[in-house]
Amino acid sequence: MIKVTDLHKSFQQLEVLRGIDAEIKQGEVVVVIGPSGSGKSTFLRCLNLLEVPTSGDIVFEGTSLMDKSTDINKLRQKMGMVFQQFHLFPHLTVRENITLAPTLVKNMSKEEANRTAEDLLRAVGLADKADVYPTRLSGGQKQRIAIARALAMSPDVMLFDEPTSALDPEMVGEVLEVMKRLAKQGMTMVVVTHEMGFAREVGDRILFMDGGKIVEEGKPAELFGNPRHPRTKDFLSKVL
Amino acid sequence: MDFSFMSEYWGFFVKGAELTVLLSIFTVILGGIGGMLLSLMKLSRIWVLKAIATAYIEFFRGTPLLVQLFIVYFGLPQLGLSFNEFTAGVVTLSINSAAYIAEIFRAGIQGVDKGQTEAARSLGLSHRQTMRKIILPQAFRNILPALGNEFIVVIKESSIVSVIGTRELMYNADTVRSNTFQPFEPLIVAALIYFILTFALSKLLGVLERRLQARD
Ligand SMILES: Nc1ncnc2c1ncn2[C@@H]1O[C@H](COP(=O)(O)OP(=O)(O)OP(=O)(O)O)[C@@H](O)[C@H]1O
Ligand SMILES: [Mg+2]
């Protein structure tokens, strides 16, 4: 579904991604772990072109993102993204947050968009919050709404950038629960996280990044149980 | 102090105040639209637009309003573009105010968290849709106090167009002054009316702001 080849990204002098090759298959949950500053977010943000790669190629469903003629807005509709800081739209109600993109960019009717929003709100357990403004919500609720908002576009893949890192500990569980259910339903997901329990339980494959490269990858049992690379061992010994 | 002239001349002050308010409203609307466009140009990635906006803003903030007024009223007719006193006043005040409002808008737009743009773009919204639906509404809320302040500034500065004969509050007060040979009292009345206008406006804006804030 997504194929990344020799991806490089620099910010001025700083080379953050130094040759990434990766493939994400339909229905797969890929979890990206690694120390702070290793380029995890940058990698994820390159996948939907929030960061423009310096070189290399990303092919999504057969279309190269680096091709100048690619309509990036069109492709982004198929890639949901969830941010660490939620980024709900504060001037819109929860319902409006969810229905905005479907009605605006997919020309979905108001009625249909509202129905979708209600279904999604029920799915994330927040059916009663439709008419509330985001400031009234807790962090965990905000993140669940942010997930619903992304899902309203019925994307083919969901990108998560540390979705639970800004949450109070007691709210982490409710968000992970929603993500687990999503994974079970067969959603293709790329998740950057420090939640090793989630990675182990839900991940089909783990990518360990360090210094702008994928140092090691494998199934959770392999990578956590028997890391081969010294840097993976070192990292895991610190976080587990 | 002798305010007995008021019984005869109160209509002058009412008419003048009306025109002052009208001038200011037109200015804030036109200046607001112009200022918004300029701010979008200045934040644009197209360098020609950026350069035009920057030059405009620097020029109109860097030259006296009186000079701008004379250029519009006395200068432009040379190029075949003439305005009556009211229109010349509105035009000058608007092009001047647009430069200030542009900077207010720019600060407001830049004050909106970058994450808002990223969230909107990641949902597939275009740059334009993101601006219209996400950034500008939030920017507008952020800048409402500054915008209200600009409105107040415009009410006060509009008095300058009296020099080209626009019959607004200052001009009429001055007419009363020369008709009655009272150099003091008519101007006190004018000052009082200006103050009431600006004070009422600032109170009104305060209420509006609290309303908007109450929503979140
Ligand atoms: N817009 C930017 N401009 C300049 N440098 C940047 C920018 N974004 C990221 N960087 C730098 O790139 C490096 C990698 O950042 P990135 O956010 O991808 O790391 P990360 O693995 O997600 O780290 P964390 O776990 O802390 O989120 C860091 O050194 C960071 O300072
Ligand atoms: Mg990060």
Q: Which helix (H) or strand (E) holds A103?
A: helix A94-105
Residue nearest atom 24 in ligand 1 by C-alpha distance:
A36
Cα angle A41, A44, A45; round to 5: 85
Record: contact B119-A81, CB cut-off 8 A? yes
Q: Does A91 touch chain B (CB under 8 A)?
A: yes
Give A53's pLDDT tier (boundaries 50, 70, 90).
very high
- Would you state the pLDDT for residue B72? 96
Q: Of A179, A118, A116, A115, which is closest to residue A143 (Cα–Cα)?
A: A179
HEC letters along chain B: CCCCCHHHHHHHHHHHHHHHHHHHHHHHHHHHHHHHHHHHHHCCCCHHHHHHHHHHHHHHHHCCHHHHHHHHHHHHHHHCCCCCHHHHHHHHHHHHHHHHHHHHHHHHHHCCCHHHHHHHHHCCCCHHHHHHHHHHHHHHHHHHHHHHHHHHHHHHHHHHHHHHCCCCHHHHHHHHHHHHCCCCHHHHHHHHHHHHHHHHHHHHHHHHHHHHHHCC
Phi and psi angles of residue A49, each rounded to the nearest 5 degrees, phi first: 65, 25
A153 in B contact zone (CB under 8 Å): yes
Q: What's the mean pLDDT in A42-59?
A: 96
Structural domain boundaries in chain B: 17-166
Show residues of chain B in contact with A91, CB under 8 Å.
Answer: 137-138, 141, 216
Confidence of residue A207 (pLDDT cuts 50, 70, 90): very high
Contact between chains at B216 and A80 (C-beta distance less than 8 A): no
ipTM for the complex shown: 0.94
**Which segments of chain B have a pLDDT < 70?**
214-216
At a CB cut-off of 8 Å and minimum separation 6, what does A191 contact? A29, A30, A31, A32, A160, A163, A179, A198, A199, A202, A203
Q: For chain B, say whether A103 makes contact (Cβ under 8 Å).
A: no
Could you count the other beta carbons within 10 Å of the beta carbon of residue A57? 14
Q: Are B213 and B145 in contact (CB under 8 A)?
A: no
**By CA distance, what is B114's nearest residue in A?**
A87
| Strand order through the sheet with A213-218 | A79-82, A157-161, A188-192, A29-33, A205-210, A213-218
What pTM, to 2 d.p., does this model score? 0.86
Q: Coil, helix or strand for A184?
A: helix
pLDDT of residue B209: 84
Q: Is B129 in Cβ contact with A153 (below 8 Å)? A: no
Torsion sign, CA atoms B126, B129, B133, B134: positive
In this structure, which ligand is nearest to the CA of A36? 1
* pLDDT, average across residues A211-234: 95
Beta bridge partners of A188: A157
* Whole-number Cα distances in Å, B114 to A43, A191, A197, B110, B117: 18, 22, 31, 8, 5
Asked if A190 has any chain B CB less than 8 Å from its own CB, the reply is no
Mean pLDDT of A60-70: 94
Residue A44, both tokens: 């994820």
User: Given this model, what pLDDT does residue B215 score?
Assistant: 63
Amino acid at site A44: L
- Residues in chain A, overall count: 240
| 3-class state of residue A10 by DSSP | strand
Instruction: Please name which ligand lies nearest the alpha carbon of A34.
Output: 1
Determine the Cα–Cα distance for residues A108 and A113; give it in Å rounded to an integer.
Answer: 6
Contact indicator for B22, B167 with CB cutoff of 8 Å: no
Q: Does 1.10.3720.10 match the CATH number of domain B17-166?
A: yes
Closest CA to B73 of B197, B176, B160, B132: B160
Token pair 């905000």: residue: A142
β-strand partners of A33: A208
- The CA-atom distances, in angstroms, between B211 and each of A95, B82, B197 are 21, 43, 21
Q: Span A7-21, mean pLDDT?
A: 96
Both tokens of A35, joined, read: 């120390």
Token readout for B156 is: 């006060």
Residue A239: what pLDDT?
A: 87
